[in-house]
């Protein structure tokens, strides 16, 4: 009988032996080595073992009887240390075994991030039964905390299992959304929301710096300094094919052991199967292709013809209640088109990717019933041109209907707040409607909803329409853009009341019809999110107009202009010298005094920006945000310091305000001015906020402008002290930040909500102070100089070309 | 076909772009989804706006100067505008971005 030695008793070799014994019982005398002290079991079912849904006994695939019946010599708990190909001998830890043919099925090793502390007790991978048992043991400790590094399939299954056993679990993930290799951002968002509902904390863009502890794990430290206390750290960041033995034996190994379509290695009597192989440049990490390989290898060993062919793969996550499905390829390559379907009410998202009338990829969350049907279309490369219209609705659907524009509002729960001013929820409005209030006026009268600032009017009307059906005709509100039917005001309101804190949350919960918005809605949504959730939301530069991404104004020839801040219009000889120096150094064609009391350097080359900023920073100057929907300038006049008419320190107040407000983002630009007397040399009466100093105090006006519309400020309040003037100014700007539609200048917003409402709101001492507090909180994050964040070297990547192929061609 | 390595996929921001200088002029290299890249001329056919500075959405870019929207796949102007920009074959392999070499080489008038 031929001697067959198998290294590794894993999922691939288990399947191989089954095929072999079925087809030709007694053809081989088999010796089976396994480093784990046990035989073949269903590794993928470790997750149900961890969560307690299954026991180890239930997942064993081959037991002692089976091995005995087929005459397999089991050498479990013994690692193979060497292969002597000349003598055709396998060397195990406990001795040698000769072979006629040899199968390597060593699988993979879990990758451990080599950060400081990675070898502390309590840091484990998630690969085998021992790891699983260690996790289960730690769960027994009351109040135990686990940090799972890696938000892919394995990490999330570990996290869900640990959580089910009562642990406090945090998942750290390096990229922007979970399972980014299988899911797009929208499905990743829904998955995250589901996990958070189970009490798992998810941190994305979290990079691990070190594991801390003296004798055992105590905490995980992140790159940004955050410390997360931990009794257990599970690293689930990836796997590496286990190829040490094959390499040492001199077999051809690239990223894994190279095999041909018959699973032969570079040595005629040695074969490999499973995760340890590389075929046609491809690696494998799911069982479906390994089973195909096992079948092919069994045929090869028995002298039959068979060839391995990699197929499309689909993925499911084995976390009970998280319904996701992904298959095929949903990125890469031109010529593709998306079909997106969202149902916010039921938390459903589906996206199909089509190329040349064929389905090439599918991502689904919430409702995955049609997953296998789509997967079939992908695998069979079915021509879908006939069913394109209704494709996304699945095999059962005929005909196809458009998505209901009111779905987002209809989906809101009864306790969703609709009117922020008066704290009215959807349920109260529905109740009023059912009680006979069947138009806007009646709803206003009974509930006060939309009776104050009025920005929620659109939402109230949508609730009316959703409740009354055909009995109510919806006035046509201007939607944000083609990606949604909701107006700006509706979106703002819903972001607040539904606590939507990320772009994918907005796209999904409000039923956006595009994968990630467009150039019209994305900057608006980015602003709303950062204004409402300054701490939780991270500003997205890719959702900003080029000026706010490059921190300079783009010019018609693609160059930029640079305006440093000159607080309140005051400068000094050394600042002017520094400006002159950079003008010389970077060949600036034009230096101009602006209408905003500062100096503009025009015609700067994009790649010079970071270096120029560094020079200006060194001279103590910061960005003037001449490009931003944010605080621009605070113009002042010379005031009491020099002027014979000055009544208050207008220059000082202007500088104080500029230093307080700079860096803040607003719906449109915000300009201020402070004049020292009613002669108004700083032109304060045509600014978004303008202050006129008088003998008895400060007159604060709002809603002025001198651009396309010429608007005089309207008097807001008169106060006695400078502190009060600052408080009212800041509070009014915060009110504007929280309520206005993106790209509405302050005067337009005041025109919509009414000066009376603004004044009334700000007159409430508690509310005014709360507005200032919220502004201050936001400023802890945004009062920073964007120029200082871009050191010349680090920014090379954003401001200079990626490569220069003209040089290469010249050679 | 010869493919030229331009750099790592991470060098281009998600929903962003980088410029590549080539003998046929500046090419804008866009990244849309995690691993999806496109290359087009960096020059807007309207009035030469730098397209790499535009907002990238879906598989389109909006020119920063006057908001013309271009398809990254076909190079066609979208909506009511009419025009065409050049596109170049690119692909991602093992995390590297490759561009088809002949497409960016100066052609001799033969
Ligand atoms: C540089 C400057 C002109 C100058 O040389 O003085 C200027 C230049 C531009 N202004 Fe202005 N404005 C400048 C003061 C003003 C003023 C005067 C003032 O602030 O006292 C006004 C009228 C006051 C007002 O804003 O109400 C003004 C009203 C506008 C408007 C109309 C705004 C409106 O709501 O109607 C725009 C268009 C816009 O913002 O959408 C605009 C837009 C622009 C842009 C950013 C056009 C653009 O989008 O590219 C110009 C950039 C030129 C460039 O390439 O650098 N600029 N602009 C001034 C810079 C001030 C500063 O130091 O930051
Ligand atoms: C928790 C978990 C959940 C999973 N869930 C899924 C899923 O849902 N779907 C899916 O498709 N896949 C899943 N997988 C992946 C799947 O389990 C693997 O793809 C599969 O087990 C690989 O099979 P293999 O035979 O190549 O290697 P393995 O099953 O890893 O077997 C290799 C064996 O070789 C032994 N070995 C290694 N080196 C030596 C040596 N020198 N001497 C002796 N023995 C050695 C190892 O101890 C090991 O027992 C999951 C994996 C894990 C860990
Ligand atoms: S007035 Fe018009 S042309 Fe002059 S700087 Fe302002 S926007 Fe430009
Ligand atoms: S230059 Fe591109 S839109 Fe005008």
Contact in structure between A50 and A23 (CB atoms under 8 Å): no
Contact in structure between A159 and A171 (CB atoms under 8 Å): yes
Instruction: Establish how many alpha carbons lie within 13 A of residue A319's alpha carbon, considering only the half-sphere containing its beta carbon.
Output: 26
Q: Can you give the pLDDT of all 110 residues of chain B as single tens digits? A: 689 999 999 889 989 999 999 998 999 999 997 778 999 999 999 989 999 999 999 899 999 988 899 999 999 999 878 899 999 999 998 889 999 988 888 654 43
Please judge whether B13 and A541 are an interchain contact, meaning their C-beta atoms are less than 8 angstroms apart.
yes
B66 lines ligand 4 (CB under 6 A): yes
Domain containing B26: what range? Answer: 3-104
Q: What is the CATH number of the domain that holds B84?
A: 2.102.10.10
pLDDT digits over A22-69, tens only?
999 989 999 999 999 999 999 988 998 998 888 999 889 899 999 999
Pairing mode, if any, of strands A710-711 and A705-706? antiparallel
Domain presence at residue B77: yes
Q: Is the pLDDT of residue A779 over 90?
A: yes
A562 lines ligand 1 (CB under 6 A): no
Distance CA A641, CA A152 (A): 64
pLDDT at A401: 42
Q: Which position has the higher pLDDT, A655 or A320?
A: A655
Question: In this structure, which residue's CA is closest to atom 2 in ligand 1?
Answer: A594
pLDDT digits over A230-256, tens only?
999 999 998 999 999 999 999 999 999
The beta-carbon neighbor of A522 closest among B34, B57, B72 is B57
Instruction: Establish how many alpha carbons lie within 13 A of residue A434's alpha carbon, considering only the half-sphere containing its beta carbon.
Output: 8
Contacts of B64 in chain A (CB under 8 A): 545-546, 554
The full DSSP string for A59-127 is HB-S-HHHHHHTT-EEEET--EEEEETTTTEEEETTEEEE-SEEEE---EEE-----TTTTSTTEEESS
The full DSSP string for A703-716 is --EESSSEE--EEE
Pairing mode, if any, of strands B90-93 and B55-57? unpaired
Domain presence at residue B70: yes
Q: How many CB atoms lie within 10 A of CB A25?
A: 11
Question: Is A483 annotated to bind ligand?
Answer: no
Distance CA A330, CA A294 (A): 29
The span from the first CA to the last CA of chain B, in angstroms, equals 20
At A63, give phi and psi (nearest 5°): -105, 180
Nearest residue of A to residue B87, measured between CA atoms:
A334
Structure letter (DSSP) for residue A26: T
CA distance A316 to chain B (A): 20
Nearest residue of B to residue A338, measured between CA atoms:
B58
Name residues 13-32 of chain B within 8 A of A (Cβ). Answer: 13-16, 18-23, 26, 29
Contact in structure between A334 and A297 (CB atoms under 8 Å): no
Distance CA A764, CA A756 (A): 13
Number of domains chain B contains:
1
Domain presence at residue B34: yes
Q: Is the pLDDT of residue A398 over 50?
A: no
Contact in structure between A212 and A219 (CB atoms under 8 Å): yes
pLDDT at B1: 66
Average pLDDT of A271-278? Answer: 96
Contact in structure between B62 and A544 (CB atoms under 8 Å): no
Q: Check CB contact of B87 with chain A, cutoff 8 Å.
A: yes
pLDDT digits over A443-480, tens only?
888 888 887 777 788 888 888 888 888 777 777 678 89
> According to the 3-state scheme, what is the secondary structure of A533-591?
CCCCCCCCHHHCCHHHHHCCEECCCCCEEECECCHHHCCCHHHHHHHHHHHHHCCCCEE
Angle between helices A722-739 and A765-782 (to 10 degrees): 70
Distance CA A188, CA A202 (A): 11
pLDDT digits over A596-613, tens only?
999 999 999 988 999 999
Helix then strand count (H, E) for chain B reads: 0, 10
Distance CA A331, CA A318 (A): 24
Structure letter (DSSP) for residue A281: T
**What ipTM was predicted for this assembly?**
0.69
- Structural domains of chain A in order of their starting residue, each with its CATH number: 2-109+241-301 (3.50.50.60), 112-237 (3.50.50.60), 488-543 (no CATH), 630-784 (3.30.413.10)
Please judge whether B13 and A546 are an interchain contact, meaning their C-beta atoms are less than 8 angstroms apart.
no
Tally C-beta pairs within 8 A across A and B: 114
The beta-carbon neighbor of B73 closest among A335, A516, A809 is A335
Domain presence at residue B109: no
Interface probe, candidates A338, A559, A802, chain B, greatest B C-beta count within 10 A: A802
pLDDT band for A184, please (50, 70, 90 cuts). confident
Written as six digits, the tokens of A527 are 């602003």
Mutate to test the pocket of ligand 2, among A5, A8, A156 (most ligand atoms within 8 A of CB): A8
Q: How many residues does chain A have?
A: 811
Q: How many CB atoms lie within 10 A of CB A349?
A: 27
Contact in structure between A102 and A5 (CB atoms under 8 Å): yes
pLDDT digits over A683-701, tens only?
999 999 999 999 999 999 9
Name residues 479-498 of chain A within 8 A of B (Cβ). Answer: none
Side-by-side strand order, sheet with A324-328? A314-316, A324-328, A358-365, A348-355, A336-343
pLDDT at A504: 92
Question: Is A456 annotated to bind ligand?
Answer: no
Distance A627 CA to ligand 1 centre (A): 9
Nearest residue of A to residue B68, measured between CA atoms:
A519
Question: Is A453 annotated to bind ligand?
Answer: no
Measure CA A303 to chain center.
Answer: 51
Distance A526 CA to ligand 4 centre (A): 24
Please judge whether A332 and B26 are an interchain contact, meaning their C-beta atoms are less than 8 angstroms apart.
no
Instruction: Report the b/e string of A400-431 with b at 16+ CB within 10 A.
Output: eeeeebbbbbbbbeeebbbbbbbebbbebbbe
Domain presence at residue B110: no
B46 lines ligand 4 (CB under 6 A): yes
Structure letter (DSSP) for residue A432: H
Instruction: Establish how many alpha carbons lie within 13 A of residue B6's alpha carbon, considering only the half-sphere containing its beta carbon.
Output: 35
Contact in structure between A458 and A487 (CB atoms under 8 Å): yes
Please judge whether B13 and A802 are an interchain contact, meaning their C-beta atoms are less than 8 angstroms apart.
no
Torsion A394-A396-A402-A406 (CA) sign: negative
Distance A294 CA to ligand 1 centre (A): 70
Average pLDDT, chain A: 90
pLDDT at A526: 97
Distance CA A29, CA A4 (A): 6
Please judge whether A806 and B4 are an interchain contact, meaning their C-beta atoms are less than 8 angstroms apart.
no
pLDDT digits over A346-385, tens only?
788 888 888 888 998 888 888 877 777 788 788 888 888 8
Domain presence at residue B65: yes
Closest CA to A203 of A226, A230, A237, A232: A226
pLDDT digits over A712-722, tens only?
999 999 999 99
Pocket of ligand 2 (CB under 6 A): A 7-13, 33-36, 43-44, 46-47, 79-80, 105-108, 126-127, 154, 157, 242, 245, 274-275, 285-288, 290, 318
Instruction: Find all residues with CB under 8 Å of B95, minimum gap 6, and list them.
Output: B8, B9, B10
Give strand pairing partners of B5.
B98
Please judge whether B15 and A542 are an interchain contact, meaning their C-beta atoms are less than 8 angstroms apart.
yes
Q: Looking at A8-62, which runs of residues are DSSP E strands?
A: 28-34
Ligand sitting nearest the alpha carbon of A135: 2
pLDDT at A215: 92
Distance CA A270, CA A64 (A): 27
| pLDDT above 70 coverage of chain A, percent | 96
Distance CA A110, CA A43 (A): 13
Domain presence at residue B56: yes
Instruction: Establish how many alpha carbons lie within 13 A of residue A134's alpha carbon, considering only the half-sphere containing its beta carbon.
Output: 16
pLDDT at A396: 62
Domain presence at residue B74: yes
Contact in structure between B97 and B13 (CB atoms under 8 Å): no
- The pTM of this model reads 0.70
B63 lines ligand 4 (CB under 6 A): yes
Instruction: Establish how many alpha carbons lie within 13 A of residue A433's alpha carbon, considering only the half-sphere containing its beta carbon.
Output: 22
């Amino acid at each position: 009988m031929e001697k067959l030695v198998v290294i590794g008793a894993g999922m691939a070799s288990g399947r191989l032996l089954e095929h072999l014994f079925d087809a030709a019982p007694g053809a081989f005398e088999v010796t089976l080595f396994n480093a784990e002290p046990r035989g073949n079991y269903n590794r993928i079912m470790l997750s149900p073992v961890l969560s307690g849904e299954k026991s180890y006994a239930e997942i064993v695939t081959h037991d002692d009887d089976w091995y005995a019946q087929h005459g397999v010599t089991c050498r479990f708990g013994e690692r193979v240390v060497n292969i002597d190909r000349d003598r055709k001998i396998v060397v195990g830890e406990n001795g040698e075994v000769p072979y006629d043919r040899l199968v390597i099925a060593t699988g993979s090793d879990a990758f451990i991030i080599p950060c400081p502390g990675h070898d502390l007790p309590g840091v484990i991978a998630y690969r085998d039964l021992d790891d699983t048992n260690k996790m289960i043991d730690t769960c027994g400790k009351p109040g135990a905390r686990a940090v799972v590094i890696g938000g892919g399939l394995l990490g999330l299954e570990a996290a869900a299992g640990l959580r089910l056993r009562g642990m406090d679990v945090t998942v750290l993930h390096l990229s922007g959304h979970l399972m980014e290799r299988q899911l797009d951002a929208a499905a990743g968002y829904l998955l995250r929301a589901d996990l958070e509902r189970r009490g798992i904390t998810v941190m994305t863009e979290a990079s691990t710096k070190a594991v801390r502890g003296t004798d055992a794990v105590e905490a995980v430290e992140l790159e940004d300094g955050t410390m997360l206390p931990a009794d257990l750290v599970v690293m689930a960041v990836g796997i590496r094919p286990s190829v040490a033995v094959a390499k040492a034996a001199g077999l051809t190994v690239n990223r894994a052991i190279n095999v041909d379509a018959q699973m032969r290695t570079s040595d005629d009597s040695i074969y490999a199967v499973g995760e340890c192989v590389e075929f046609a440049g491809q690696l494998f990490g799911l069982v479906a292709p390994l089973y195909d390989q096992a079948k092919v290898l069994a045929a090869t060993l028995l002298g039959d013809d068979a060839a391995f062919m990699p197929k499309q793969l689909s993925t499911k996550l084995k976390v009970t209640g998280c319904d996701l499905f992904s298959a095929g390829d949903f990125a890469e390559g031109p010529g593709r088109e998306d079909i997106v379907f969202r149902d916010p009410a039921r938390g459903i998202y589906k996206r199909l990717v089509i190329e040349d009338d064929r389905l090439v990829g599918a991502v689904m969350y919430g409702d995955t019933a049609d997953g296998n049907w789509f997967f079939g279309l992908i695998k069979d490369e079915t021509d879908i041109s006939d069913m394109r219209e209704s494709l996304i609705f699945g095999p059962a659907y005929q005909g196809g209907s458009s998505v209901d524009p009111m779905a987002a509002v209809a989906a809101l729960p009864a306790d969703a707040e609709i009117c922020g001013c008066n704290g009215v929820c959807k349920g109260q409005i529905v109740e009023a409607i059912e009680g006979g209030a069947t138009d806007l006026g009646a709803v206003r009268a009974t509930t006060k909803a939309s009776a104050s600032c009025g920005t929620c009017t659109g939402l109230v009307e949508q609730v009316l329409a959703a409740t009354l059906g055909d009995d109510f005709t919806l006035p046509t509100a201007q939607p944000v853009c083609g990606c949604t039917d909701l107006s700006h005001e509706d979106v703002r309101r819903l972001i607040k009341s539904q606590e939507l804190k990320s772009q994918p949350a907005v796209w999904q919960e409000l039923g956006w019809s595009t994968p990630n918005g467009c150039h019209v809605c994305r900057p608006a949504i980015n602003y709303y999110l950062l204004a409402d959730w300054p701490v939780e939301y991270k500003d997205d530069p890719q959702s900003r107009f080029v000026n706010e991404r490059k921190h300079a104004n783009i010019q018609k020839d693609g160059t930029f202009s640079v305006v440093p801040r000159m607080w309140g219009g005051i400068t000094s000889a050394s600042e002017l010298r520094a400006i002159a120096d950079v003008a010389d150094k970077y060949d600036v064609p034009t230096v101009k005094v602006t209408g905003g009391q500062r100096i503009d350097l025009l015609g700067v080359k994009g790649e010079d920006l970071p270096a120029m900023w560094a020079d200006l920073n060194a001279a103590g100057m910061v960005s003037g945000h001449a490009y931003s929907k944010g605080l621009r300038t605070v113009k002042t006049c010379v005031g009491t310091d020099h002027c014979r008419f000055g009544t208050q320190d207008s220059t000082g107040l202007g500088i104080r305000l500029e230093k307080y407000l700079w860096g803040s983002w607003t719906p449109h630009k915000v300009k201020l001015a402070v004049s020292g007397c009613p002669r108004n040399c700083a032109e304060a009466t045509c600014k978004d906020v303008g202050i006129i100093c008088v003998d008895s105090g400060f007159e604060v006006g709002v809603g002025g402008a001198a651009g396309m519309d010429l608007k005089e400020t309207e008097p807001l309040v008169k106060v006695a002290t400078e502190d009060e003037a600052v408080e009212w100014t800041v509070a009014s700007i915060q009110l504007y930040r929280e309520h206005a539609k993106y790209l509405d200048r302050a005067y337009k917003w005041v025109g919509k909500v009414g000066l009376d409402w603004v004044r009334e709101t700000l007159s409430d001492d508690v509310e005014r102070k709360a507005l200032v507090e919220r502004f201050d909180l936001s400023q802890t994050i945004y009062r920073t100089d964007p120029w200082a964040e871009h050191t010349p070297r680090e920014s090379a990547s954003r401001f200079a070309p990626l490569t220069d192929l003209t040089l290469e061609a010249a050679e | 076909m010869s493919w030229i390595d331009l750099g790592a996929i991470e060098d281009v921001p998600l929903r962003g772009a980088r410029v590549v200088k080539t003998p046929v002029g500046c090419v804008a290299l866009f990244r849309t989804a995690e691993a999806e890249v496109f290359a087009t001329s960096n020059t807007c056919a309207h009035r030469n706006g730098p397209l790499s500075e535009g907002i990238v959405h879906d598989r389109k870019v909006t020119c920063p100067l006057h908001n013309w929207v271009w398809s990254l796949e076909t190079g066609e102007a979208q909506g009511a505008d009419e025009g065409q920009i050049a596109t170049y074959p690119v692909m991602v392999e093992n995390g590297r971005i490759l561009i088809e070499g002949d497409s960016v080489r100066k052609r001799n008038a033969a």
